[in-house]
Chains A and B, each alone.
Chain A
Amino acid sequence: MLEGRAGEKSRSKTMPVKKRKLNLRILAPAVVVVLAWASTAQAYIGPGAGFAVMGSFLAMFAAIFSAVVALFTWPIRYVIRAIKHRHAFARAKIKRCVILGLDGLDPNLAEKFLAEGKLPNFARLKEKGCFKRLATTVPSMSPVAWSSFQTGSNPGKHNIFDFLTRDTRTYMPKLSSVDIRGPRRNITIGKFQIPLGKADIRLLRKGKPFWKTLGEHGIFSSIIRVPITFPPEKLYGVQLSAMCVPDLRGTQGIFSFYTTRSEGDGEHTGGERFFVTMANNTIKTKLIGCSSPFRKDGSALACPFVVKVTGKEAADIRINGETRHLKKGIYSDWVKVAFKAAPGVKVKGICKFLLISTEPEFSLYVTPVNIDPEKPAMPISYPTIFSTYLAKRQGPFATLGLAEDSWALNEKFITDQEFVEQCTQIDAERETMFFDALDKVKQGLVVCVFDGTDRLQHTFWRQIDPEHPANQGRIPEGNVIEQLYMRMDQLVGKVVDKLNDKKTLFMIISDHGFSAFRYGVDLNRWLEDNGYLKVIEEKRGQKNLSAVDWSQTRAYAIGLSGIYLNLKGRESKGIVEPGDEAGQLRDEIAGKLGALTDAQRNQPAIKQVYNALKIFNGPYKGNSPDLLVGYNRGYRASWETAIGQVTDKIFHDNTKAWSGDHCIDHSFVPGVLFCSRPVVTENPRLMDIGPTVLEMFGVDTPKSMDGRALAVVEPDSRKATGNK
């Protein structure tokens, strides 16, 4: 049974009760002695008392000062707010709305575990309110789905169609939701440069999140880790960014692995492996950071560290002047690391160390270096101080968008148990900030998304699918997913107990469900086999579509579900004429691909291929892939397709730990909706949630939204508001 040990970890941080009582027994009389000392001695307390007095004096002064300011200004601000937002809550049916997002929670599995009596708190909610399937988006993946959730609209209006899109000039894949560029101007001095200004970070998701509309009506929101909120936008409330927040190196997460084992050095997907040598049980190496902003060649900054093996299962690591004790198999706390960029200039981040082994070979795993939330190198929250507040309140926490390092598991650098522990720790951090939001926001909106449900189902689906190729013929052991659902049920229980309030509407949603990912489909190979794509043979196998001969390619695939036409006037080397030729080509590819059968297993690989022009509406539908592939259960775009690599066959067994997925036809993977009140509307959709919340707060749904308010039954009444 694989379980996280976050509970044990938190217990070890508190002082035992016996020691606390002993300290008090010694200190209390000492305090009396000091205070009762002859008055002349008080003149000699000096700096000792000075430290005591100064620290607490300053804090006391700050408290008194802020209390005075608040007392004087709060009534004025209250009046201003009352006038400015006099209609806030005027038509509201609720005082507060709490939305708990459990990314990827699957309704089929939820039903199964409910029937087995393993989810008593979900069952309570279902009985008191409702449990329905929640239709997801096309395509059914998190960046698209959560964008539709936020904006209440289809992707044609919010501009997010996949994790990745392509640069139409270079065909290189790039993130679809954010564009990060360095400062526009630099002063160059030889091989050095001085950047002028900040990095240019732009959110590419369009549309207005529904909480901004709430804010315009004086309703406060706390938005915690909702995907596709980086960089954070201004709102009446607080927000912590999530998916696509980069690591300190500007990537979506590169781990580091240090080992004395010599084979297999270099880059791996999602990480880097470094060969190190040990002398006198000591290893000297360095952690790689971001590119230096002061060097023209952009060479990477490094932070040296020393590891001293102290036992069979222990080592000490010394980094930035501090020593940490590592035990085999146990993650360190978050360690602050500083990369020296220039004299007096440091770039700071945080990471965790995991000692894998000390003998016969030494191995050390280091998580991606996250942006330090206390002093973020780029904006990851609104207001900027919000991440500092959370860091001061609960300690450092994961800021990376895709914080759970599934690639380290995929590439077998960490074990199942170690990955589960990582996810559990991140969920524990999330839970702390979620409950803090519930404490702080008694009126308004609280939204918090947990990603662990998604990551763990992705990586442990093989445990509930005995025929999965990742099991390699063995009977799978373990019940990580069941444990996960039960842990989420406990979370739900805590939340329900806390929200003992009829004026609070509580919803649990997921952006999509889950299914097996047994076989990858190399779309580019299929396109090549069917004459739509031409490969430069000597470059076959190269990534990022660099093996493609564009002069003879009419369609190509990149990302997890999209096919693009090589359109003239849109792509830099386009050859397909827009208009009729493009339209015919779309239909032709859709028809042929829709009939694709996996001959080996004698089953269809594709359920449906969607024409983006027909399913999306809005100003940004032209940015979408031309065709969206709805895979059949068990199939998904291959790993190679996602990164623009053309292989030698169409179907590939997926043997990675990442064995479950949802980037298939949307009809197979709806999400869930649990609500504390009955919802009468049949077939609710994810994009309906925003309008529903607006309706419950008495705010009109903007016309730009495609979603409609769900009919929610009012408590102690059979009357339902919203659309049935």
Chain B
Amino acid sequence: MTELLAQLVTWINVPVNVLGKALFGFIAVVPGWLSNTIISAVAGVVLLVIFKYTSNQRAIGKVRDDIKAHMLALKLFKDSISVTLRAQGRVFRGAFLLLFYSIRPMLFMIVPVVLLLSQLGLWYQSRPLLRKEEALVTMKLSGQADAALPEVGVEEANAFEIVTGPVRVAAKREVVWQMKALEEGEHTMRFRIGEAQVEKEFVVGEGFNQLSTKRPGWKWTEILMHPKEEPFGPDSPVQSISIDYPDRSSWTSGTDWWVVYFFIASMVFALLFKPVFKVRI
């Protein structure tokens, strides 16, 4: 089942990557706060419309009206403790019902939202290495924990130099290098593991770029989270290769904060357009 999911996600990532590159290419040329705001706005409105047509609007409307009625009852009949307690209980009940009625649209939205966020993560989660900046490259190998680690090496290239390594951590079946970026641009690191050869792309430069922090193994969750590069197959000696890119510092488009900003901005725009599309949330 998990293998099937891994394959499915891999297939889905192909057109999604193409679409993502086409739609989000403008992130590279505009300020981060602007690009995230635009994307949040569009996403918020689109998801609002999806919510409208996948949720039971009538039921949600009824629950909202009930909640409002009971809130008003608290004021109208405030001198009656029994009415007050009953009304508050009904408001709580209404709150849970809203959550319940939101599950179906959430199930519809979860896949496109996850795909969207994984694409945006490529741009915002980290920043590229600057020239002469160093980063750790970690390769996780397949096999049993107590098995010997195979011979692993990195092919030399002009774009980078190995400062330290390889450091072998047998218990974790990891091999780690510290590398220094030398040339700007999108590059490929080539590794040898025994007879096999694998690649990992990396980016050096300034501004916004699509960065694959990890080339994933054959796990559907990792493939989903790191969609850009083709995953290592189930029989590959390598499980994953990750590059420890530096964090981006920004409240709107920086590491981890971009998700928060996206969440808030998309909700704000959704709320603004709620009366236009006549959606009840």
Contact = CB atoms under 8 A, between A and B. Distances in A.
A51 interface: yes
B103 A52 contact: yes
A59 B67 contact: yes
A66 B113 contact: no
Contacts of B74: 66, 70
Interface in A175-226: 220
Interface in A75-108: 77-78, 81
A51 B110 contact: no
A40 B225 contact: yes
B96 interface: yes
A27 B81 CA distance: 36
Contacts of A383: 75-76
Contact of A48 (B98, B109, B278): B109
B106, B117, B118 — which one has the most chain A CB atoms within 10 A of its CB? B106
B158 interface: no
A266 interface: no
Interface in A5-44: 27, 30-31, 34, 38, 40-41, 43-44
A386 B77 CA distance: 10
B43, B44, B65, B79 — which one has the most chain A CB atoms within 10 A of its CB? B79
A115 interface: no
A291 interface: no
A45 B84 contact: no
A44 B113 contact: yes
Interface string A268-294: 000000000000000000000000000
B144 interface: no
Interface residues of A, number: 48
B78 interface: yes
A40 B78 CA distance: 45
Nearest to B115: A44
A324 interface: no
A59, A67, A386, A442 — which one has the most chain B CB atoms within 10 A of its CB? A59
A284 B91 CA distance: 43
B110 A45 contact: yes
B66 interface: yes
Contact of B99 (A43, A52, A70, A442): A52
B163 interface: no
A30 B111 CA distance: 13
B122 interface: no
A595 interface: no
B30 interface: no
Nearest to B94: A59
Contacts of B103: 27, 30-31, 34, 52
Give the secondary structure class of A's interface: helix
Given A31-B103, A40-B221, A46 B113 contact: yes
Interface string A388-410: 11001101000000000000000
A501 to B, nearest CB: 14
B95 A45 contact: no
Contacts of A389: 69, 72-73, 76
B186 to A, nearest CB: 26
Contacts of A49: 102, 106
B272 interface: no
Interface string A314-336: 00000001000000000000000
Contacts of B278: 321
Nearest to B77: A440
A397 to B, nearest CB: 13
A442 B80 contact: yes
A289 B164 CA distance: 82
Contacts of B94: 59
Given A46-B263, A442-B82, A56 B76 contact: no
B124 interface: no
A34 B73 contact: no
Given A59-B98, A386-B76, A70 B221 contact: no
A534 to B, nearest CB: 56
A56 B73 contact: no
Interface string B56-96: 00001000111111011111111111111000100110111
A38 B223 CA distance: 14
Given A34-B103, A54-B267, A56-B96, A62 B113 contact: no
B262 interface: yes
Given A47-B113, A56-B95, A66 B105 contact: no
B43, B48, B84, B95 — which one has the most chain A CB atoms within 10 A of its CB? B95
- List of 4 A-B pairs having minimum Cβ-Cβ separation, nearest first: A52-B102, A48-B109, A59-B95, A392-B69
Interface of A: 27, 30-31, 34, 38, 40-41, 43-57, 59-60, 62-63, 66-67, 70, 74, 77-78, 81, 220, 238, 321, 383, 385-386, 388-389, 392-393, 395, 440-443
16 contacts: A27-B103, A41-B114, A45-B110, A46-B109, A48-B51, A48-B105, A48-B108, A51-B102, A51-B281, A55-B98, A56-B97, A62-B91, A74-B81, A74-B84, A392-B72, A442-B82
